[in-house]
Amino acid sequence: MVRRVAVIGAGVGGLASIKCCLEEGLEPTCFERSEDIGGLWRYTDSVDSGRISVYRSVITNTSKEMSCFSDFPFPEDFPSYLPHSLLMEYFRMYAQHFNLLRHIRFKTTVLSVRKRPDFATSGQWEVVTEANGVKESHVFDAVIVCTGHYQEPYLPLTSFPGIKTHFKGQYLHSREYRDMEAFRGKRVLVVGIGNTGGDLSVELSHVAAKVFLSARSSTWVFSRVSDHGFPFDMVNTTRFNHFLDWLLPSALTKRIKFRRLNSWFNHANYGLASTKSSKFKFIINEELPFCLLSGTVMLKPRVKEFTESSALFEDGTTEENIDVVLFATGYIFSFPFLEESVRSLFDDNRSLYKCIFPPQLEKPTLAILGLIQLTGSLMVGTEMQARWVTGIFAGWNKLPPASRMIADVLKKKPPVKRCVLKNPSEEENLKMSFIGYTDEIASCAGVKPSVLRLLLTDPRLALAIFFGPCTPYQYRLMGRGKWSGARDAILTQWQRTLKPLRTRVVDDSSPGWCWSCLLALPAALAVGFLLSKYPWQGWSPRAGPQL
C-alpha cells in the first residue's frame, strides 16, 4: 500500500498535492529547490538560473472566483484579477491554514527519480536529492511531479536566419524580462502573440520609441471585462454554455463565437484574425486593440530574416534600427531528474493517461500534474488532478488496466506528433475545455456534481450551478473531500466579485430580481427532461444569467 509520497515542487500543484495527501492519510514530503513556495508566481528582481518566474506587472488572466482552491475562497476584498503579490499572499494563507509548510524541504534539489529494482512488484521509487552540497537517497511508495508546464524557455533561433550571425542588437527570451525600464527609448520587436507577447507589447509601448509585434497565426482577442462589467470567465464559463457547445455543430458555435468577438472590434481590420483561418489562438488583452489603433504597437507578419539592425518580414516589408528582439515564444517541459526509461514513455501531455499517468508503467505510482492547457484556470484543473491521484495512491480509486489506458491515449492523441513539445506557440489549438476536462477528472474521483439530482433536492443551487459560473466550489458538493461551505460559496460568489468594487455608494434603483432568473426555471426543466432521456456528458463557454 502507498504510504510515503514524494512531491516535487511547491507551486500550485505541490501545495494542493500535499494537502490532498494529508486528507487521504498519506505521508507527503515535498522537495522545493528554491527558498519559498509559489513556483513561477513568486516574482524576483533577478533572473535565477534555472528558475522561471513571472514579470513584475503580470496580472492573472482568470478571475479569483474561477481560480481559487475549491475549499478555500479568496478573501472577499481581493480584486477579481490579481497581481502576483496578492496571489502569493493567498498561497501563504492556504499553506498556513492547512499546515502545509512543515512537509516542505526548501533549498532541496531533486537530482534523480529512479525505479527501485523490485518496482514491478513494489512500485517504489528511489529519489536522490541535494541540499547544501549534501546528497541524500530516499525511498518513496509514489511520486507526484509538480514542476509544471513552464520549465525550459523555447528559443527557436534556427527559425530566424541572421539573428545569431548578423544581428548586432540585443535579443532575449521573455523569461528574462522583469520590467519595462531597460527598454526605454528603444525600438523593440516582440516575436510571438500569445498572452505574454501581447502583454509585453502593451507594456513596452508606454516607454519604447516603437514596438513591433510579429504574429504568424490568426489571433482572437478577449477582454477580461465582459458583459455589464463582470469578469469574462465568470460570465462565459458555465455549464449551460458548455451544453450548447456539445449540442450545436462545432462550425456553428465557432461562427457565433467569432461574430461576438468581432462585435468588440473587427479583427480582420486590425490584421489580427480571419474567420476563414484554420489555425488560430485566443489571448486575453483589453489594451492591445487601442495600442494598435493608436499606433504605439504595430502588427507585423512572421520574420523572414535579420540583418545587422533590421528585420525583414514575409510580406516583403522591412523595419530598420531594431534595438531589441524579445522572443515571447513559450516554454517546453522537461524532466531531467526522471530516468530515461520513464522519460521516453511520453513526448507530450497527450501521451499520458488523462494527461497525468504514463500508462505503460508496471505500477501506477508516478503522476505528473499541471501538464495541461485549459480554456480556464490551470490552478483548478491541477487541484482536481491532485485529488484524483491521491485517492488512487490511497486505494480509494482505481485505474483501468494498462491496455485500456493506452487505447484511451491513442484515441485522444492529436494528429500532429510532439506539437506541444516542439512548437509551444501552437499550444492554443490544443487547449482542452476547462469544464470538459475538470468534469472528466472529477468523475474519475467521484466528486462531479449532479445537476439533475440537485434540481430535485435543491433547485436554487442547481440553477446557480447550471446557468452560473462553473466555480471550483461545485466540486466540493459531494464525494470524498466534501466541504460544508461549498453551497454557500456558490450562492455568494457574485457578492465576493462585487465587494472590492463597491468602495463608493451610489443609488441603484434596479430591482433585486431579474427576468432572466425567472426565465431560467423553464429552461432548466427543459434541460432536465433532455438529460433524463439522453446520457449526461461533460459539458464550455458563452453567457448565462447572474444567479
Domain locations in the chain as residue ranges = 4-151+332-437
C-alpha 310/C-alpha 88 separation (Å) is 41
Q: Report H helices in 237-287.
A: 239-247, 250-264
DSSP 119-144: HHHH--EEEEEEETTEEEEEEESEEE
How much is the pLDDT for 480?
95
What are 192's three cell numbers? 510571438
Strand partners, 113: 127, 338
How much is the pLDDT for 533?
47
How much is the pLDDT for 449?
97
219 DSSP 8-state letter: E
C-alpha 284/C-alpha 432 separation (Å) is 17
Contact 112, 339 (CB under 8 A): yes
Longest pairwise C-alpha distance within the chain: 73
Contact 106, 42 (CB under 8 A): no
Residue 262's Cβ-side half-sphere holds a number of Cα atoms within 13 Å equal to 16
Of 334, 347, 329, which Cα lies nearest the Cα of 414?
Answer: 347
Q: What is the spatial order of strands in the sheet that 27-31 belongs to?
A: 104-105, 27-31, 4-8, 142-145, 366-368
**Sign of dihedral through CA atoms 309, 312, 313, 316?**
positive
* Stretch (H or E) spanning 216: none
Q: Which CATH superfamily is domain 4-151+332-437 in?
A: FAD/NAD(P)-binding domain (3.50.50.60)
pLDDT tens series, the chain, 547 aa = 679 999 999 999 999 999 999 999 999 999 999 999 999 999 998 886 668 899 999 999 999 999 999 999 999 999 999 999 999 999 999 999 999 999 999 999 999 999 999 999 999 999 999 999 999 999 999 999 999 888 889 999 999 999 999 999 999 999 999 999 999 999 999 999 999 999 999 999 999 999 999 998 899 999 999 989 999 999 999 999 999 999 999 889 989 989 999 999 999 999 999 888 777 889 999 999 999 999 999 999 999 999 999 999 999 999 999 999 999 999 988 899 999 999 999 877 789 999 999 999 999 999 999 999 999 999 999 999 999 999 999 999 999 999 999 999 998 875 543 333 445 544 544 689 999 999 999 999 999 999 999 999 999 999 999 999 999 999 999 999 999 999 999 999 999 999 999 988 777 654 444 434 444 555 555 555 554 444 443 333 333 333 3
How much is the pLDDT for 526?
57
b/e 436-469 (16+ beta carbons within 10 angstroms → b): bbbbbbbebbebbbebeebbeeeeebbbbbbbbb
In sequence order, the 6+-apart residues with CB closer than 8 A to the CB of 378 are 12, 149, 370, 372
What are 414's three cell numbers? 492529436
Going by their DSSP bridges, the two strands 311-313 and 303-306 should be labelled as antiparallel
The type of residue at 467 is: F
Contact 235, 376 (CB under 8 A): no
- Phi and psi angles of residue 128, each rounded to the nearest 5 degrees, phi first: -105, 125
